[in-house]
Structures are given as C-alpha cells and as structure tokens.
Amino acid sequence: MNLAILGGDQRQVFMARRLAESGHSVFVWGLGACDAEIGAAKVCACWEDAVNASNAVILPLPASSDGVRVHCPLQCEDVFLRIPALLDKLGDRLLLGGRFTEALRGIAEQKGARWIDYYESEVLQLKNALPTAEGAISIAMRELPVTLDGTHAVILGYGRIGSLLAEKLYLLGARVTVYARRSEQLTQASLHHHTVRRMICEGGHSVPQGIPQDCRVIFNTVPRWILTREQLVKLPKNCVLIDLASAPGGIDHNAAAELGIRSIWGTSLPGRYTPESAGYILGEVIEDILSDLDTQL
C-alpha cells in the first residue's frame, strides 16, 4: 500500500521504518530531520505531496494536542497542518490516528471522512503494556534511593499493565501487594505469588484499605481517583507514587505535593522510554487494521 505518515514523535519515525520494511510505500511529512532513521520511507517537502501519493493517511498518537492542528513536536513551531485542511484534501482515503478527540471526530464525520482510531485497538493496548511496565520500573529505579530487590511495592489495579508490572517487579525481587476489586483478578494475582487485598467501594469510589506502612512505591493503573487527600495522609512520607492511568489519572498530585509525598504522572511511557519498540508496535497494529479491512483502499 501507499501510506502517508503526517506528524508525530520518534514513534512515528520508527513506525515509518517498520512499514517500509514490510514492503509498503511510505511518504512522511512533519517528522523533522529524520532521513537517517526512516529507512526506505520518503520524506515529502509538503504534506499535500504525501497525501497525494497515498491510499491511507496515518496521524500520530495523539492525533492532535489542541484539537485543531496535527501533533508535530519534531517540526518547527511555525510549520503546522490544520486538521480541517487535511480533511478537505483527504478525498476517499482512509484516515487513521490515535486518541481522536470528540471535536476531531465531529469534524471528520461532518466532512464525510472514513476514519479509524487505532488507539482503541485491544491489540495495541496489550502490546503497549510491556513498554509501559518497563517505563514505570525505570521511573521507580530513578526515584527510589533503594533497590527494587526486597522493596515492598503496591500496585493498584490488575489489568493489562498491572498484571505485567507485578510480574516484572516480582522477578526483580520486589515484594508485591496487589489491590483489585474483582475476585478473579485477586485469585490470578495470588496464583502468581503476590499478596492480594480487595479494594472496597466508598461513596462510589474504589478505595485501597490499609496500605502497608513499609511500602516504598505505589503504582496506580486505575483511571479514576483512587488516592485522594483522605487516602494520601495515611501513606508513609518516603513512599513514591507513580500514576500510570490515563486522564484524569488516579492520584491527587496537588494534595501529594502539599503533603510532601513524591508523585509522578507517568503518561505516554512507551514513546518517552522506548520509542523504537513503541513505533514498531504501532506499525504492526496499523498493518493488522489495514489487513482486516473489507473495503478496498
């Protein structure tokens, strides 16, 4: 296929290389000086040339940071692409992008565009769990004054990321306590040699009760406020909080700062810590999406 990649960070650079290695004709714009990294992909002087040469157009993750312009952090600030202009040029080409906002979806539907949000792919979420877990461990190693071996770590939530993170921490010698709501998650965590505790519901919120006072690091994976001020005051001051949940997150970071507790919101860890692996994952997922489509592009 002929694919246009418009904008993005280092993940899109390596995604372009991955797709070109798979035999696609790839045309990129908005990735800065990336000629050496994109392999057989071709850099276009203007975004219109990339679109004209393509059957499908791929936007970054996130597709837009302001809802109006394509996210191009590697490009000069005065060089940008407005999404309405792209949609006017799109024609019958398929548009793929990550984390489309409601406003962007509305514009696309108004223009009659065919679009897919690849961030909603379960395959992508599963594959991204590994670089996210490794990135979280990197943050913990940087922030903690002690080794993970022998350290008591708490994980809130036991989904895709939480379960893999627990396994990695256990293999590094950490003592892991998992908090979850569902019985099957608690059973699974217990079978993997972790201490388990059930989160209870208070006022419509899941609350972890009795977090151990010897805990040195807490990883939150639940995208709802879990550690509010009421919970934070019960934590040891030398505990590091690492929030891995998507917006709005699960930790009251302002309250943590006021209480003198170190907290980090670890967003977009695959792109920040392992852009090559994350880019290759995106390329694989996009290939899967395109191959599954019934429509001829």
Per the CB < 8 A criterion, the answer to whether 226 and 250 are in contact is: yes
- The residue among 287, 297, 252, 285 whose CA lies nearest residue 118 is 285
Q: Is the pTM of this model over 0.85?
A: yes
172 Cβ contact partners less than 8 Å away, ≥ 6 residues apart: 137, 148, 149
Do 273 and 131 touch, CB atoms closer than 8 A?
A: yes
Task: Please check the confidence at residue 203 and state whether its pLDDT lies above 80.
Answer: no
Query: What are 4-28's pLDDT values in tens digits?
Result: 999 999 999 999 999 999 999 999 9
Which residues is 198 bridged to in the sheet? Answer: 180
**What's the whole-number mean pLDDT along residues 159-183?**
96
Architecture of the domain delimited by 124-266: 3-Layer(aba) Sandwich (3.40)
Q: What is the pLDDT of residues 119-146, one digit of tens each?
A: 999 999 999 999 999 999 999 999 999 9
pLDDT band, very low/low/confident/very high, at 297 (cuts 50, 70, 90): very low
Q: Structure tokens of 79?
A: 């060089």
Q: Is the pLDDT of residue 78 over 80?
A: no
Locus of tokens 């006072």: 213
Q: What pLDDT band is residue 35 in, cutting at 50, 70 and 90?
A: confident
pLDDT of residue 204: 63
Whether the per-residue pLDDT at 112 is higher than 60: the answer is yes
Mean local confidence (pLDDT), 261-287 = 93
**Which pLDDT score, from 0 to 100, does residue 128 have?**
94
For domain 2-120+274-292, the question of CATH label 3.30.56.10 is answered with no
- Average pLDDT on 79-86 reads 87
What is the CB-side half-sphere exposure of residue 52 using CA atoms within 13 A? 6
Q: Where in the chain is the domain with CATH 3.40.50.720?
A: 2-120+274-292, 124-266
User: Is 161 within 8 Å of 244 (Cβ atoms)?
Assistant: yes
CA dist 146 and 149 (Å) reads 8
